[in-house]
Chains A and B, each alone.
Chain A
Amino acid sequence: MKRMTIVVSILLTGLLLTSGVTAQTPEKKYPTLFDPKTTTLENGMEVVVIEDHRAPVVTHMVWYRIGAADEPSGKSGIAHFLEHLMFKGTRKVANGEFSKIVAQNGGQDNAFTSQDYTAFYQNASVDKLPLLMEIEADRMQGLILNDKAVGAELQVVLEERSQRTDNNPTALMREQLNAAMYLAHPYGIPVIGWRNELEKLTTEDAINWYKTYYAPNNAILVVAGDVNAEQVFELAKKYYGPQKAMELPKRERLKEPPQLAKRIVVMRDKRVREPSWRQSYLAPTGRTSDVKTVRALEVLNEILSGGVTGRLYSKLVIDDKVAVGAGAYYDSSSYDQSSFTFYGTPANGFDLETVEAAVLKVINDVLENGVSEDEIKAAKKRMMASAIYARDSISGAANIFGGALARGEKIENVVHWPEQISMVTAEEISEAAKLVFIERQSVVGKLLPEEK
């Protein structure tokens, strides 16, 4: 609920799988995913508007194409830390006043950071939109930082790290797993930062970061709700138009070398009372691969992990009874290569190796025999339905487009998601599975209680 939620990279996938569908476009028989209207301001800021007239409210978001994976070496956590510091005031708005102004206007505000983006948002009655734009534009280039404010906030972020990560062995394990997953690429470094680096961040680090990356040509404005797109474009021009475009560093992260060895990470912690297992395979995403492969993997993920009737749960939990829980998730929209992850918790009397073997059997079955037409049909039907359900959430729609654009996805790929999913074939799923489920490109994680 608080500002500074760290968004793990799977969030957007979840949102995409539950995205909405608008009425059919005239020339195509497939529905589109919402019906966004877009423009680009002269200073390079992209604008996306999604109209929804059910309630007189609006979601206003600004996404910066900058996240933890863009941080300089040794400064982990600076992207997320700066997100906190964006509330510390400008010449016009004093420290702490930003949220107060939003609240006194009946709005709610917050912000979040992932490996690939930093985003700020407010939800309010639609008549407050000009005000929200005014104060959000004001802090795009007008932030003022001093040591006192930065110092107190660093303590807050360290407490956040304790709360989210250090207090929780599963979260610590996930950090270790990511670090093992990427040999060179910065996705191996946690968004909140390693504690030893986080502790040393300074006001100067924050200012450097801000001055380098916070500019309209590095930002995407998303407005969703009871608005008219043309009016929003006019307001955007008025409030965000005066912000100055800047020269931006090229967005390029360290490249992952060939992965030649399966890695096995074993962590023991006395707080662990039930062992758990996971395995992540390096996987392509919308920007790094052709879209057919990515959509095929999304359908495969639904077949494997689509609830109680998915292959993993029905095989491991219902039929074989070797696990009490099992599933998978696939992050299809990271800026760089992501992962396809399997997980399971053994049933009483079984060990992690049994769970791993059972999951491998499910994977091998896909590799050898593919998936059936019936499974594909059912999975597509559920995915199309979840797209309709997603239309119930105004802020969800805004998240989908902001997240996709900030991660280098083309808006057409989002809009035509239903069509692309509908076209996926059994052959494509088999090909995609062979491309991803390669043992030497994977990491196994075992989280266990301390040895007695």
Chain B
Amino acid sequence: MKIFVFLWIAAIATLTGFVPSALATNIQEITSPGGIKAWFVEEKSIPILSMEVIWKGGASTIPAEKAGLANLLASTMDEGAADLDSKAFQQRLSDLAISLSFGASKDTFSGSLKTLSENREEAFRLFELAINSPRFDEEPVGRIKSQILVGLNRKLSKPNNLVRRAWFEVAFPGHAYAIPTDGTIETVKPLTPKDLREFKKKQIARSNMVVSVIGDIDADELGRLLDKTFLKLPENPDLSFPNDVEEVKGPILKVIPLDIPQSVVVFGGNGIKREDPDYYAAYVLNYILGGGGFESRLTAEIREKRGLVYSVYSYLAPLQNAGLQLGGFGTSNASVAEAIELVKAELHKIREAGVTETELEAAKKYLNGSFPLRLSSNSRIANIMVSMQLFNLPISYLNKRPELINAVTLDDIKRVAYRLMDPDAMIITIAGKPSGLEN
């Protein structure tokens, strides 16, 4: 209502001739001489180069008794390769200021490389050595394992870790998603270099891999480096992927007793998978409910009106084998019951009445208007390009996204809200000493 003051702004909207799709149109799909595909943006204004790689697989392909193996692999693959031992390998990275790291999630194993463009040949060589010939010597594996074990022990009293871990345990009984990515003290302790060697071979292949590169290099040279880096990998991985979970079943309420002044709460239930035709409606809906920071309904009701929390949020978590909607907040132990009731009331309201035309328009304006911010640096663009490939989105997606969001109608929102926002089926986990909760 106060916005009229600023409407004239539109008239001077071209300070520098804003072209929303400029970066999007610069993405090329290249195929190296040896057949390695990558999405690539040539960006020469800074003499740096970034590569992101994702392999499908990750923690959910590992048997329960070896939980944490993917995470341990990610933490040890840069600890020596071929004839370079751990110290020599790390020294090489350090001397040239190359950053090379690996990561594991429930669904993926990933690699990340950042270098000054003048050191690109050596940076790709070190990445190649790490993925093709990691050493897994006793010393570094033991050292990294003891760091992970200390971390796991610490997490046993950290409310944020406990509550999240518990949520997946109760939501996915008997499924790989119930198993924590970094494992447990019991499962990590016995892991050996042999386990790492075997899992590496199964996980790191070409057909389950997507690659993005941005920076100061041209396509021909990149093609040559991609061949050198990836051609030696086996064609196919050897992984058993988990089954799809059609729906998680609530209601569940689980309290992890912890003597802390503020309870930490995670709530959630069925969301939507990335390829679902209603994904965009769910995305817009989530923005209005709890994804939009200060503009969201949850923040308005629970923080702004009542001061019960510092932060309350929700988000869509589209996993490969399940779609989730998750949310969370922290509130004093005495307010937990009230805050949960407020979340339920908001779900109920949005499910019964949908959202208003004004909210829908505001959401579209934000989601489309803010998209250029997500393409504002090399590292962000590298990450978006690799995620798009992981979710099988076309290169043209960046240009089409505004239309897909604009096409969402009030009816779409209502349909999706009915499907996803069931206050009586919520799965809630709490770490703390909440009072006044009837089970």
A407 to B351, CA, bound (A): 50
A427 contacts partner chain B, Cβ-Cβ < 8 Å: no
Other-chain contact of A273, B96, B156, B294, B368 (Cβ < 8 Å): B156
Q: A162–B2 contact, CB under 8 A?
A: no
Taken residue by residue from 249 to 289, chain A's Cβ proximity to chain B (1 for < 8 Å, 0 otherwise) reads as: 00000000000000000000011111000000000000000
B9 CB → nearest A CB, Å? 5
Report chain B residues within 8 Å CB of A93.
2, 5
Other-chain contact of A3, B23, B43, B294, B375 (Cβ < 8 Å): B294
A393 to B114, CA, bound (A): 14
Q: B15–A129 contact, CB under 8 A?
A: yes
Report chain B residues within 8 Å CB of A125.
18, 20, 369, 372-373
Q: A345–B45 contact, CB under 8 A?
A: no
Number of interface residues of A (CB under 8 A): 82
B48 contacts partner chain A, Cβ-Cβ < 8 Å: yes
Given A159-B307, A162-B330, A394-B376, CB of A309 within 8 Å of CB of B94: yes
**Which of A106, A151, A345, A386 is the most central at the interface, judged by chain B CB atoms within 10 Å of its CB?**
A106
Given A125-B369, A154-B307, A388-B48, CB of A382 within 8 Å of CB of B94: yes
Other-chain contact of B19, A56, A167, A389, A392 (Cβ < 8 Å): A56
Q: B330–A167 contact, CB under 8 A?
A: yes
Other-chain contact of A103, B147, B294, B304 (Cβ < 8 Å): B294
**Which of B114, B304, B306 is the most central at the interface, judged by chain A CB atoms within 10 Å of its CB?**
B304
B47 contacts partner chain A, Cβ-Cβ < 8 Å: yes
B435 contacts partner chain A, Cβ-Cβ < 8 Å: no
A92 to B153, CA, bound (A): 52
For chain B, the bracket of interface size reads 35 or more
Q: B260–A271 contact, CB under 8 A?
A: yes
A25 contacts partner chain B, Cβ-Cβ < 8 Å: no
User: Which residues from 149 to 196 on chain B have a C-beta closer than 8 Å to any C-beta of chain A?
Assistant: 149-150, 153-154, 156-157, 159
Report chain A residues within 8 Å CB of B377.
54-55, 392-394
Given A127-B18, A270-B259, A274-B150, CB of A106 within 8 Å of CB of B369: yes
Q: Which residue of A lies closest to B92 (CB)?
A: A309
B250 contacts partner chain A, Cβ-Cβ < 8 Å: no
Q: B330–A163 contact, CB under 8 A?
A: yes
A172 CB → nearest B CB, Å? 11
Q: B6–A131 contact, CB under 8 A?
A: yes
Q: A105–B369 contact, CB under 8 A?
A: yes
Q: Which residue of A lies closest to B371 (CB)?
A: A106
A126 to B12, CA, bound (A): 11
Q: B260–A167 contact, CB under 8 A?
A: yes
Given A55-B375, A56-B22, A167-B260, CB of A2 within 8 Å of CB of B6: no
B271 CB → nearest A CB, Å? 20
Q: Which residue of B lies closest to A306 (CB)?
A: B94
Report chain A residues within 8 Å CB of B15.
126-127, 129-130, 227, 231
Q: B16–A274 contact, CB under 8 A?
A: no
A77 CB → nearest B CB, Å? 14
A277 to B291, CA, bound (A): 38
Stretch at the interface among B220-228, B308-316, B413-421: B308-316
Q: Which residue of B lies closest to A393 (CB)?
A: B377
A129 to B1, CA, bound (A): 21
A426 contacts partner chain B, Cβ-Cβ < 8 Å: no
Q: B366–A103 contact, CB under 8 A?
A: yes
Q: Which residue of A lies closest to B294 (CB)?
A: A99
Report chain B residues within 8 Å CB of A308.
90, 94
A35 to B264, CA, bound (A): 45
Compute the total of residue contacts between A and B using a CB distance below 8 Å.
Answer: 224
Other-chain contact of B292, A103, A151, A272 (Cβ < 8 Å): A103
Q: Which residue of B lies closest to A155 (CB)?
A: B307
B400 contacts partner chain A, Cβ-Cβ < 8 Å: no
Q: B295–A99 contact, CB under 8 A?
A: yes
B91 contacts partner chain A, Cβ-Cβ < 8 Å: yes
Q: B3–A101 contact, CB under 8 A?
A: yes
A100 to B5, CA, bound (A): 14
B116 contacts partner chain A, Cβ-Cβ < 8 Å: yes
Q: A131–B370 contact, CB under 8 A?
A: no
Given A162-B332, A270-B259, A271-B157, CB of A99 within 8 Å of CB of B307: no
Report chain A residues within 8 Å CB of B19.
56
A128 to B15, CA, bound (A): 9
Other-chain contact of B147, A97, A128, A324, A389 (Cβ < 8 Å): A324
Report chain B residues within 8 Å CB of A135.
6
Report chain B residues within 8 Å CB of A108.
293, 370, 373
Other-chain contact of A130, B12, B156, B311, B332 (Cβ < 8 Å): B12
Q: Which residue of A lies closest to B90 (CB)?
A: A308
A4 to B376, CA, bound (A): 23
Other-chain contact of B307, A101, A153, A162, A321 (Cβ < 8 Å): A153
A104 contacts partner chain B, Cβ-Cβ < 8 Å: yes
A325 to B48, CA, bound (A): 30
Report chain B residues within 8 Å CB of A94.
1-2
B110 contacts partner chain A, Cβ-Cβ < 8 Å: no
B187 CB → nearest A CB, Å? 18
B401 contacts partner chain A, Cβ-Cβ < 8 Å: no
User: Which residues from 195 to 227 on chain A have a C-beta closer than 8 Å to any C-beta of chain B?
Assistant: 226-227
A153 to B94, CA, bound (A): 46
A182 to B108, CA, bound (A): 47
A to B CB contacts below 8 Å, 19 in the list: A57-B373, A96-B304, A103-B295, A105-B9, A105-B369, A107-B370, A126-B15, A126-B16, A127-B16, A131-B6, A162-B261, A162-B332, A271-B260, A274-B153, A325-B147, A389-B48, A391-B48, A394-B376, A394-B377
Extra inter-chain contacts (16) besides given A348-B150, A394-B377, CB under 8 Å: A4-B310, A20-B46, A53-B16, A93-B5, A107-B369, A123-B373, A129-B15, A156-B307, A156-B309, A159-B307, A167-B260, A167-B264, A272-B157, A308-B94, A324-B146, A325-B150
7 A-B pairs with the lowest CB-CB distances in the bound complex, closest first: A106-B369, A155-B307, A385-B97, A162-B262, A99-B294, A160-B310, A152-B307
